[in-house]
Amino acid sequence: MELLIRLSRGIDRVTAWIGRGISWLILAAVVVSAANAVIRKAFDLSSNAWLELQWYLFGAVFMLAAAWALQKNEHVRIDVVSAHLSQRTRLWIDLFCHILFLTPFAVLMTWLSWPFFLRSWTTGEYSMNAGGLILWPAKFLVLAGFAVLVCQAVSEIVKTVAMLSGRLPLPSDGEEDHLPPELREHAHMMEEEGRPNA
Protein backbone atom coordinates (compact mmCIF):
# COMPACT_ATOMS: atom_id res chain seq x y z
CA MET A 1 0.00 0.00 0.00
CA GLU A 2 2.90 2.39 0.71
CA LEU A 3 4.04 2.06 -2.91
CA LEU A 4 0.53 2.93 -4.12
CA ILE A 5 0.38 5.95 -1.79
CA ARG A 6 3.72 7.18 -3.17
CA LEU A 7 2.39 6.66 -6.72
CA SER A 8 -0.73 8.62 -5.78
CA ARG A 9 1.36 11.51 -4.44
CA GLY A 10 3.40 11.53 -7.64
CA ILE A 11 0.23 11.64 -9.76
CA ASP A 12 -1.10 14.47 -7.57
CA ARG A 13 2.07 16.51 -8.09
CA VAL A 14 1.94 16.07 -11.87
CA THR A 15 -1.80 16.87 -12.00
CA ALA A 16 -1.33 20.02 -9.89
CA TRP A 17 1.61 21.11 -12.07
CA ILE A 18 -0.47 20.65 -15.24
CA GLY A 19 -3.49 22.38 -13.69
CA ARG A 20 -1.56 25.41 -12.45
CA GLY A 21 0.27 25.73 -15.76
CA ILE A 22 -2.81 25.32 -17.91
CA SER A 23 -4.76 27.89 -15.87
CA TRP A 24 -2.59 30.61 -17.49
CA LEU A 25 -4.28 29.79 -20.78
CA ILE A 26 -7.39 31.54 -19.45
CA LEU A 27 -5.43 34.79 -19.54
CA ALA A 28 -4.12 33.93 -23.01
CA ALA A 29 -7.69 33.30 -24.21
CA VAL A 30 -8.83 36.67 -22.83
CA VAL A 31 -5.90 38.47 -24.51
CA VAL A 32 -6.54 36.72 -27.86
CA SER A 33 -10.27 37.48 -27.64
CA ALA A 34 -9.68 41.15 -26.78
CA ALA A 35 -7.02 41.59 -29.48
CA ASN A 36 -9.26 39.97 -32.06
CA ALA A 37 -12.18 42.23 -31.12
CA VAL A 38 -10.04 45.39 -31.21
CA ILE A 39 -8.45 44.52 -34.57
CA ARG A 40 -11.83 43.62 -36.06
CA LYS A 41 -13.48 46.86 -34.89
CA ALA A 42 -10.53 49.21 -35.50
CA PHE A 43 -9.17 47.83 -38.78
CA ASP A 44 -12.06 45.72 -40.09
CA LEU A 45 -9.75 42.69 -40.16
CA SER A 46 -10.55 39.26 -38.81
CA SER A 47 -9.56 35.64 -39.22
CA ASN A 48 -11.12 32.33 -38.33
CA ALA A 49 -7.70 31.34 -36.97
CA TRP A 50 -8.14 33.79 -34.06
CA LEU A 51 -11.57 32.42 -33.23
CA GLU A 52 -10.37 28.84 -33.39
CA LEU A 53 -7.35 29.68 -31.25
CA GLN A 54 -9.77 30.91 -28.57
CA TRP A 55 -11.64 27.59 -28.77
CA TYR A 56 -8.35 25.66 -28.52
CA LEU A 57 -7.30 27.61 -25.43
CA PHE A 58 -10.68 27.11 -23.76
CA GLY A 59 -10.64 23.42 -24.68
CA ALA A 60 -7.16 23.02 -23.21
CA VAL A 61 -8.25 24.55 -19.90
CA PHE A 62 -11.47 22.55 -19.77
CA MET A 63 -9.89 19.19 -20.62
CA LEU A 64 -6.55 19.40 -18.83
CA ALA A 65 -7.78 21.10 -15.64
CA ALA A 66 -10.57 18.54 -15.04
CA ALA A 67 -8.20 16.20 -13.19
CA TRP A 68 -6.94 19.08 -11.03
CA ALA A 69 -10.55 19.96 -10.12
CA LEU A 70 -11.07 16.32 -9.10
CA GLN A 71 -7.91 16.36 -7.00
CA LYS A 72 -8.99 19.58 -5.24
CA ASN A 73 -12.48 18.16 -4.64
CA GLU A 74 -13.98 21.04 -6.64
CA HIS A 75 -16.12 18.87 -8.93
CA VAL A 76 -19.91 18.99 -8.83
CA ARG A 77 -21.56 17.22 -5.92
CA ILE A 78 -24.91 17.54 -4.16
CA ASP A 79 -23.73 19.60 -1.18
CA VAL A 80 -27.18 19.72 0.42
CA VAL A 81 -27.04 15.93 0.83
CA SER A 82 -23.32 15.26 1.29
CA ALA A 83 -22.89 17.97 3.96
CA HIS A 84 -25.11 15.93 6.30
CA LEU A 85 -23.23 12.65 5.85
CA SER A 86 -20.30 11.49 7.95
CA GLN A 87 -16.81 11.71 6.48
CA ARG A 88 -16.54 7.92 6.17
CA THR A 89 -19.88 7.72 4.36
CA ARG A 90 -18.76 10.41 1.92
CA LEU A 91 -15.53 8.49 1.34
CA TRP A 92 -17.44 5.26 0.65
CA ILE A 93 -19.69 7.10 -1.83
CA ASP A 94 -16.64 8.65 -3.54
CA LEU A 95 -14.92 5.26 -3.75
CA PHE A 96 -18.03 3.62 -5.21
CA CYS A 97 -18.53 6.40 -7.79
CA HIS A 98 -14.84 6.56 -8.77
CA ILE A 99 -14.63 2.79 -9.32
CA LEU A 100 -18.00 2.21 -10.99
CA PHE A 101 -18.52 5.42 -12.96
CA LEU A 102 -15.58 7.81 -13.27
CA THR A 103 -12.74 5.38 -14.02
CA PRO A 104 -14.57 3.22 -16.61
CA PHE A 105 -15.90 6.34 -18.35
CA ALA A 106 -12.47 8.04 -18.44
CA VAL A 107 -10.77 4.83 -19.67
CA LEU A 108 -13.41 4.37 -22.39
CA MET A 109 -13.08 7.99 -23.54
CA THR A 110 -9.27 7.69 -23.62
CA TRP A 111 -9.54 4.54 -25.72
CA LEU A 112 -12.06 6.13 -28.12
CA SER A 113 -10.05 9.36 -28.35
CA TRP A 114 -6.89 7.66 -29.59
CA PRO A 115 -8.10 6.80 -33.14
CA PHE A 116 -9.96 10.15 -33.23
CA PHE A 117 -6.64 11.95 -32.64
CA LEU A 118 -4.49 9.56 -34.71
CA ARG A 119 -6.64 9.94 -37.84
CA SER A 120 -6.41 13.72 -37.57
CA TRP A 121 -2.64 13.59 -37.00
CA THR A 122 -1.83 11.24 -39.90
CA THR A 123 -4.05 13.05 -42.42
CA GLY A 124 -2.93 16.53 -41.37
CA GLU A 125 -6.58 17.48 -40.91
CA TYR A 126 -7.37 21.19 -41.15
CA SER A 127 -10.44 23.14 -40.14
CA MET A 128 -13.05 23.47 -42.88
CA ASN A 129 -13.33 27.19 -42.10
CA ALA A 130 -11.39 29.57 -44.34
CA GLY A 131 -8.08 30.42 -42.66
CA GLY A 132 -8.74 27.85 -39.95
CA LEU A 133 -6.13 25.98 -37.92
CA ILE A 134 -4.95 22.39 -37.99
CA LEU A 135 -7.27 20.17 -35.94
CA TRP A 136 -5.02 17.52 -34.42
CA PRO A 137 -3.93 19.69 -31.43
CA ALA A 138 -7.57 20.13 -30.39
CA LYS A 139 -8.22 16.40 -30.75
CA PHE A 140 -5.03 15.65 -28.80
CA LEU A 141 -6.41 17.74 -25.92
CA VAL A 142 -9.39 15.39 -25.67
CA LEU A 143 -7.08 12.36 -25.51
CA ALA A 144 -4.66 14.00 -23.04
CA GLY A 145 -7.45 15.34 -20.83
CA PHE A 146 -9.06 11.93 -20.36
CA ALA A 147 -5.68 10.20 -19.91
CA VAL A 148 -4.78 12.60 -17.08
CA LEU A 149 -8.26 12.11 -15.60
CA VAL A 150 -7.74 8.31 -15.57
CA CYS A 151 -4.48 8.78 -13.65
CA GLN A 152 -6.09 11.16 -11.17
CA ALA A 153 -9.05 8.79 -10.68
CA VAL A 154 -6.57 6.04 -9.76
CA SER A 155 -4.89 8.43 -7.31
CA GLU A 156 -8.25 9.31 -5.71
CA ILE A 157 -9.14 5.63 -5.35
CA VAL A 158 -5.79 4.88 -3.68
CA LYS A 159 -6.15 7.82 -1.27
CA THR A 160 -9.73 6.92 -0.41
CA VAL A 161 -8.87 3.27 0.28
CA ALA A 162 -5.88 4.42 2.37
CA MET A 163 -8.09 6.75 4.43
CA LEU A 164 -10.78 4.11 4.95
CA SER A 165 -8.17 1.56 6.04
CA GLY A 166 -6.47 4.00 8.43
CA ARG A 167 -3.23 4.35 6.46
CA LEU A 168 -3.93 8.03 5.79
CA PRO A 169 -5.70 10.36 8.23
CA LEU A 170 -9.33 11.23 7.55
CA PRO A 171 -10.08 14.86 6.78
CA SER A 172 -11.91 16.67 9.58
CA ASP A 173 -15.54 15.61 9.95
CA GLY A 174 -17.06 19.11 10.13
CA GLU A 175 -20.43 19.44 8.44
CA GLU A 176 -19.23 22.41 6.40
CA ASP A 177 -16.18 20.68 4.91
CA HIS A 178 -17.92 19.83 1.63
CA LEU A 179 -19.69 23.16 1.28
CA PRO A 180 -18.54 25.71 -1.28
CA PRO A 181 -16.01 28.21 0.20
CA GLU A 182 -18.55 31.05 0.50
CA LEU A 183 -21.01 28.83 2.44
CA ARG A 184 -18.17 27.46 4.59
CA GLU A 185 -17.26 31.03 5.50
CA HIS A 186 -20.90 31.74 6.40
CA ALA A 187 -21.00 28.63 8.61
CA HIS A 188 -17.88 29.77 10.50
CA MET A 189 -19.35 33.25 11.01
CA MET A 190 -22.56 31.74 12.41
CA GLU A 191 -20.54 29.58 14.81
CA GLU A 192 -18.63 32.61 16.07
CA GLU A 193 -21.90 34.44 16.77
CA GLY A 194 -23.22 31.44 18.67
CA ARG A 195 -26.15 30.85 16.35
CA PRO A 196 -27.00 27.53 14.64
CA ASN A 197 -25.97 27.28 11.00
CA ALA A 198 -28.75 28.20 8.58
List, for residues 153-171, the tens digit of each pLDDT value.
Answer: 999 999 999 999 988 888 7
Do the Cβ atoms of 87 and 173 come closer than 8 Å? yes
Q: Give me the pLDDT at residue 125, please.
A: 87
Give yes or no for residue 181 having a pLDDT over 60: no
Can you tell me the distance from the alpha carbon of 97 to that of 147, in angstroms, rounded to the nearest whole number?
18
10 Å Cβ neighbour count for 127?
16
User: Where do the structural domains in the chain lie, given as residue ranges?
Assistant: 2-192
One DSSP character per residue, 35-94 reads: HHHHHHHHH----HHHHHHHHHHHHHHHHHSHHHHHHTT-S---HHHHTTS-HHHHHHHH
List, for residues 25-67, the tens digit of each pLDDT value.
Answer: 999 999 998 998 898 888 888 788 888 899 899 999 999 999 9
Can you tell me the distance from the alpha carbon of 85 to that of 3, in angstroms, rounded to the nearest whole number?
31
Q: Give me the pLDDT at residue 193, please.
A: 52
List, for residues 118-154, the tens digit of each pLDDT value.
Answer: 999 999 888 888 878 889 999 999 999 999 999 999 9
